[in-house]
Structure 1
Amino acid sequence: MTTSPISAPAAPVADAGALTGKRRVAFASFVDENYLPGFLVLLRSLALSNPDVCEDFIVLHDGLRPASVARIRALHPRVIFRRVDADHYDSYVKGDQDNYLVRKAYFILDVFRIRDYDTVITLDTDMVVLGPVKELLSLRHGLGAVAQFFYGDRTRMLNSGLLVIQKEYLTDAFCARIDEIGRSGKYELDKHDQGILNALLDGDFVDLDPKYNFVKRRLSGDLPVPEDTAVLHFTGRHKPWQGGEAGYGQAQERWAEFDLTDAELHAAFLENPDPLHRDLLVHYGTPHVERTGDVTTARRVALAHIGAGDYQAAVDILERVHIPVDEAWPHEVYGHALMSVSRYDEARAQLLLATAAPNRAATAFSRLAQIAWVHGDDAQAQTYAMSGLTVDPTHRASRIWHQRTLGVPAQPAGSPEDQLAHVAFYMDRQGNAGDKLLPESVRLAFDRDTTSRRWHSVHAHRLFDEAALERVNARRGLVIGGGGLFIPDTMPNGNSAWQWNVPDELMNRIDVPIAVYAVGFNAFDGQSYRANRFRESLRLLVEKSAFFGLRNHGSIEKVRAMLPSHLHDKVRFQPCPTTVTRQLVENWQDPAEREDTILLNAAYDRAGLRFGHDYGYFLAQMAKAVKELGKLAEVKCVAHSLDDEKLAFDLRREHGVSLPVIPMYDFENDGIRDLYARTKLVIGMRGHAGMIPFGCGTPIISLISHPKMAYFLRDIDRPEWGVSVHDRNLADLLVERSRDLLADHDRTVADVHGRQQELWKVTEANAADLRTLLGG
């Protein structure tokens, strides 16, 4: 029997980076013991001149002492060591076959054998970085280099000291061409690797500004280094760490600025007024705190850990220092970290200390309100939230917690024996529209009545305590689903390390059937869970569940990888109910006519994980696309949350492109479905900006910045309905695919309906099992 691709994808799920298309960028240098002093200065200068840049740094080498490796690792958090195939270059024709320095000059060519990066930037070890190089990270095409500098020489040749190499050159075919020229000797032998590349490229390279490879020879006569120099290159025989060369004193002084001890580097980096990359801040700040006990640095490092979702590391570093009573900000950060690992009593104490300072009080009060709310004390939460608003009437978090504690309109309550308990993330007013719709959609998959007559709500973010356990066990079953529950950072806790704040001991005592329904593994590319705690909680949940359904096969693969093999078969496919909305909503009617609109959505939560270095590129491509899409239909920005409106603001400010904004975060569920059903096409970055319109029968194109988008498109066997936000031809692809989908709109809608029908078959089959398990 042939298996539908919707029920079982033919190929294993790819890694997250491959699915999102997020560009991988690395620096690379060839390093040996003789040039190690220069390389250490290069690393320090890169960090101090570009404190917000931290990419992998590939160290090509032919053998380094353990002490040298340790010194390099101390200077960079993302060093990768790769040994070159030195013997490979012995077959090359060289000007001086017996000179070991000449032999090693070719080893940097091993960089073209790297296959796991999209862009590699090479730096010679006799360079020092003096200015920003972020522009180099944004290059996407060709092989970039600075032209050689010779007085009176107009020949177009590159200087290979700094190269920006794109993936089309990181191939076996390009390496074969290098080998052919090297073995033939048909190149300038005294130019070594540079001679080979010039012979091969014959001037066909992308010109970089000379400031990115400013050779020392330009400064002959002890000229000062120009202020805009980004990378200074000490070409020639005399290297700075060997004493330098007469006539270049001012250049030598610039190099010496970075000949620092590790302690001096840490202090200089931490004093930098520019934004600091999180990885570098942790790498340099942690030993600085251990050495000095500096509270301010400990607070900054803790915030970096919190931003990465490593809350225990934030607790650990703040536990190492003495925080004075009157230092409000460290107390507030410490309280934040403690509450995130469920050490609530200690967190309260720290946050109460933080309320003494007006500049931290509102935030501290909002976190105290959150802790009270988590424990089910709405009255205390409201009091704390009001205290925060008294300090700062504009404080958004305090306002959110105050609104959350206001009474919910009473609904008719059913008998417990007739109800299902339902763990979900119940979104606030003006919260994410997709998360607002999701709990109701889950309930529709079980019962047409989604009210409290048939459902007992359990907010996933509230602490699941003895009273909550008693209420759940009084119902006929427990459904878990609705919201991005398998994600570590939306509302972190130390009990489960995912979104349901449930201790293992209480989960073990749930004695009604448990159905995990259409939950997704929502970690971003580059985001991780507290592995051990999450694995233990996940395993217990799977063991306890009578039904364990995940919303895409990508999530299934991720979760199975964390489970022992005997539990793998319990994990099954259950599509998100929003994708079959037309089947679930009673008396659904497809629109007789559609508005001549294209709805465009972009997401800005965790923007660094979504865009990396590419946000400026993404915005420029969207401006180009919107102009062309406007010829097909009216383009409108649809905001699932308040932050999503940033797309319209930035397009107008940066590119003069204006879009109407639809505040979907203010819509009721019927309004969300109605809007998506009546448009012609939705181009969305949020998961539910794709799944909800698809479920309403509307064609979609996904702007992929998260693996889950690609997971869904693979499950419906339509990967071409997705375009990575990093794609080199993003605008052209969006316009081309939009034009194709709109050209025969009826056919496209029919295709959506057909794909949806396959998901409905899976949902109906699972529903039969669920009726047996839960009754009703």
Structure 2
Amino acid sequence: MQVLHVGSFIGNIGDNANHQGLRRVIERTLDSGVNYHNWEIRRCYQNYNAPDQWRFDDEFVRCANEADLVVIGGGNFFEPWIEASATGTTIDLPLEQLTKITVPVAFYGVGFDTHKGFSDNTLGRFDRFVHACGGMPNVFLSFRNDGSKDNYHAAFPNHSVQPHIVPDGASFFQCEASTWLPDGSIYWAVNIAGDMKPLRFSGDSNGEWLRFLQNLACVLESNLGANPQVKIVLIPHIPSDLEAINSLLQVMDDFLVRSRVIVAPMWQGWDGCKVTFGLYKQCQLSISMRFHANITPMVMGVPTIGLASYPKIAALYREMGLKRQPVSAQASDFMTKLQCEIDLIKHSPEQVLTDYTQVLKAARSMVEPFERFLRQQFSLPQ
């Protein structure tokens, strides 16, 4: 089985977890070995002009039709703000090219988000793209369970074509626990994101960001003082996370930083993904701001507290049917709510982990339409 896979392979390690989990679903459903051909989506960005660039052109169609299956997935690639795109989005795939592809095509779990803006023209092009996909039996069009459904309904309230909503592939990700962290301590993973501050923090975004860091530092310092065995592991997912980590370290007590805080390596890509999420799996608690820093520890059985600074985190918890909700990074009672969540996990971890069975159950249910599509396309028993 030959699969042409378009996605982000050198970006956020969460994307790598997404792809690796999705491939487990594909291989399990098809019950066969698969050879993947990775097409890095960043090399088809309109501002990428290196010799190894590619486009959704005739050459792409030729390579697609030489494969058995085309998968395009991961990331907010359905953001309708690009005026020069055939679809108004990063997936700059003209309809005349799409209709030339004769093998099964799966747009799996692509995020639809209008936070970067849009116009009537870009929405119109995306609307035509969605309608075309809806009329092609060899195409599976789906959004990720990150609030994309609500964003789509807000942009197209009367749309007759409803893309499937599927779980992020990281819902099926697995890796071994790391052995990097020495025995004898209790480790809490902390992931914070300082990118997109104007979107994450309203009003005076820089001021709100600093207030968030100070409040988070206060909670962490208090818990380090009350729990001598605990050490904090700050985990970056992308390069800019290192800036956020440095900003947090600057507002924390210097002695605690030197003696009780560990900064994990910033290792991106396929292998870095396994190493980094292996560190999460070695921890007894995760306090997480990024999307994949929430879903991936959860499905690996690590008690997780979400820090919501972007709508997709709250949407993830809501769409997975979780009883507990993330803590708003801008809430006036942020410190109190965060401490309550920490206390719950410390004293009743089984209650939290029981809730995660709902995550796995919801993921298995949500991925079924994709599995049916694959079985139908390859004439496998349903």
TM-score, length-normalised on structure 2? 0.80
Q: Which residue of structure 1 lines up, in the alignment, with residue 87 of structure 2?
A: 496
Q: Deviations over 1:710-748 (max 9, x none)?
A: 110101223633011111011221111111022122332
The match for 1:663 among 265, 269, 284 is 265
Task: State, as a whole percentage, how many aligned pairs show the same letter.
Answer: 23
Q: Which residue of structure 1 lines up, in the alignment, with residue 105 of structure 2?
A: 514
Which residues of 2 match residues 238-257 of structure 1 at below 5 A?
Answer: none
Question: Cα–Cα, structure 1 residues 775 and 538, in superposed 2: closer, same or farther, change >3 Å?
Answer: farther
Q: Which residue of structure 1 lines up, in the alignment, with residue 333 of structure 2?
A: 729
Which residues of 2 match residues 316-395 of structure 1 at below 5 A?
Answer: none
Tell me the distance in 1 between the aligned counterparts of 2:221 and 2:379. Answer: 53
Is residue 3 of structure 2 the alignment partner of residue 435 of structure 1?
no
Q: Deviations over 1:311-338 (max 9, x none)?
A: xxxxxxxxxxxxxxxxxxxxxxxxxxxx
Tell me the distance in 1 between the aligned counterparts of 2:300 and 2:184. Answer: 12
Q: Deviations over 1:385-411 (max 9, x none)?
A: xxxxxxxxxxxxxxxxxxxxxxxxxxx
Is residue 186 of structure 2 the alignment partner of residue 610 of structure 1?
no
Tell me the distance in 2 between the aligned counterparts of 1:493 and 1:705. Answer: 30
The match for 2:170 among 551, 557, 578 is 578
CA contact (8 A) 1:438 1:483 kept: no
Tell me the distance in 2 between the aligned counterparts of 1:606 and 1:694. Answer: 25
Tell me the distance in 2 between the aligned counterparts of 1:547 and 1:484. Answer: 17
Question: Cα–Cα, structure 1 residues 719 and 663, in superposed 2: closer, same or farther, change >3 Å?
Answer: farther
Tell me the distance in 1 between the aligned counterparts of 2:311 and 2:193. Answer: 14
Q: Which residue of structure 2 lines up, in the alignment, with residue 175 of structure 1?
A: none
Tell me the distance in 1 between the aligned counterparts of 2:373 and 2:242. Answer: 42
The match for 2:148 among 530, 534, 555 is 555
Which residues of 2 match residues 65-144 of structure 1 at below 5 A?
Answer: none
Matched residue SS, 1:721: coil
Q: Deviations over 1:503-522 (max 9, x none)?
A: 34322332323222112224
Which residues of 2 match residues 140-155 of structure 1 at below 5 A?
Answer: none
* Structure with max Cα Rg: 1
Is residue 122 of structure 2 the alignment partner of residue 533 of structure 1?
yes
Tell me the distance in 1 between the aligned counterparts of 2:214 and 2:146. Answer: 33
Q: Deviations over 1:210-242 (max 9, x none)?
A: xxxxxxxxxxxxxxxxxxxxxxxxxxxxxxxxx
Residue 702 of structure 1, CA deviation? 1.4
Question: Cα–Cα, structure 1 residues 495 and 768, in superposed 2: closer, same or farther, change >3 Å?
Answer: closer
Question: Cα–Cα, structure 1 residues 702 and 635, in superposed 2: closer, same or farther, change >3 Å?
Answer: same
Q: Which residue of structure 1 lines up, in the alignment, with residue 223 of structure 2?
A: 629
Tell me the distance in 1 between the aligned counterparts of 2:114 and 2:265. Answer: 26
Tell me the distance in 2 between the aligned counterparts of 1:735 and 1:514. Answer: 46
Tell me the distance in 2 between the aligned counterparts of 1:601 and 1:531. Answer: 37
Which aligned runs of 4 or more in structure 1 are off by greater than 6 angstroms?
Answer: 588-591
Matched residue SS, 1:660: strand
Residue 574 of structure 1, CA deviation? 0.8
Q: Which residue of structure 2 lines up, in the alignment, with residue 642 of structure 1?
A: 239
Tell me the distance in 2 between the aligned counterparts of 1:523 and 1:605. Answer: 17
The match for 2:5 among 402, 422, 436 is 422
Tell me the distance in 2 between the aligned counterparts of 1:701 and 1:531. Answer: 39
Q: Deviations over 1:393-434 (max 9, x none)?
A: xxxxxxxxxxxxxxxxxxxxxxxxx3222221221xxx4221
- Equivalent residue letter for 2:89: W
Tell me the distance in 2 between the aligned counterparts of 1:505 and 1:426. Answer: 27
CA contact (8 A) 1:519 1:549 kept: yes
Tell me the distance in 1 between the aligned counterparts of 2:131 and 2:323. Answer: 30
Residue 629 of structure 1, CA deviation? 3.1
Q: Which residue of structure 1 lines up, in the alignment, with residue 37 of structure 2?
A: 456
Gap runs ≥5 in structure 2: 45-54
Question: Cα–Cα, structure 1 residues 495 and 580, in superposed 2: closer, same or farther, change >3 Å?
Answer: same
Matched residue SS, 1:499: coil
- Equivalent residue letter for 2:171: T
Question: Cα–Cα, structure 1 residues 492 and 568, in superposed 2: closer, same or farther, change >3 Å?
Answer: closer
Residue 547 of structure 1, CA deviation? 2.0
Gap runs ≥5 in structure 1: 1-417
Q: Deviations over 1:448-505 (max 9, x none)?
A: 69x995223333341211111111122223222122322367x995333322232343
Is residue 133 of structure 2 the alignment partner of residue 544 of structure 1?
yes
Residue 542 of structure 1, CA deviation? 4.9
Tell me the distance in 1 between the aligned counterparts of 2:132 and 2:185. Answer: 48
Q: Deviations over 1:641-693 (max 9, x none)?
A: 12112233223323435232112434533323322222122111111111111
Matched residue SS, 1:634: strand
Larger RCO: Structure 1 or Structure 2 (Cα < 8 Å, ≥ 6 residues apart)?
A: 2
Question: Cα–Cα, structure 1 residues 622 and 523, in superposed 2: closer, same or farther, change >3 Å?
Answer: farther
Residue 763 of structure 1, CA deviation? 2.0
Q: Which residue of structure 1 lines up, in the alignment, with residue 47 of structure 2?
A: none
Q: Which residue of structure 1 lines up, in the alignment, with residue 50 of structure 2?
A: none
Which residues of 2 match residues 589-604 of structure 1 at below 5 A?
Answer: 596-604=186-194
CA contact (8 A) 2:95 2:132 kept: no
Q: Which residue of structure 2 lines up, in the alignment, with residue 28 of structure 1?
A: none
Count of matched residue positions in the alignment of Structure 1 and Structure 2: 347
- Equivalent residue letter for 1:634: K
Q: Deviations over 1:58-86 (max 9, x none)?
A: xxxxxxxxxxxxxxxxxxxxxxxxxxxxx
- Equivalent residue letter for 1:420: V
Residue 550 of structure 1, CA deviation? 1.8
CA contact (8 A) 1:442 1:481 kept: no
CA contact (8 A) 2:133 2:141 kept: no
Tell me the distance in 2 between the aligned counterparts of 1:558 and 1:725. Answer: 22
Question: Cα–Cα, structure 1 residues 575 and 487, in superposed 2: closer, same or farther, change >3 Å?
Answer: same
Tell me the distance in 2 between the aligned counterparts of 1:434 and 1:594. Answer: 29
Which residues of 2 match residues 736-755 of structure 1 at below 5 A?
Answer: 736-755=340-359
Question: Cα–Cα, structure 1 residues 460 and 590, in superposed 2: closer, same or farther, change >3 Å?
Answer: closer
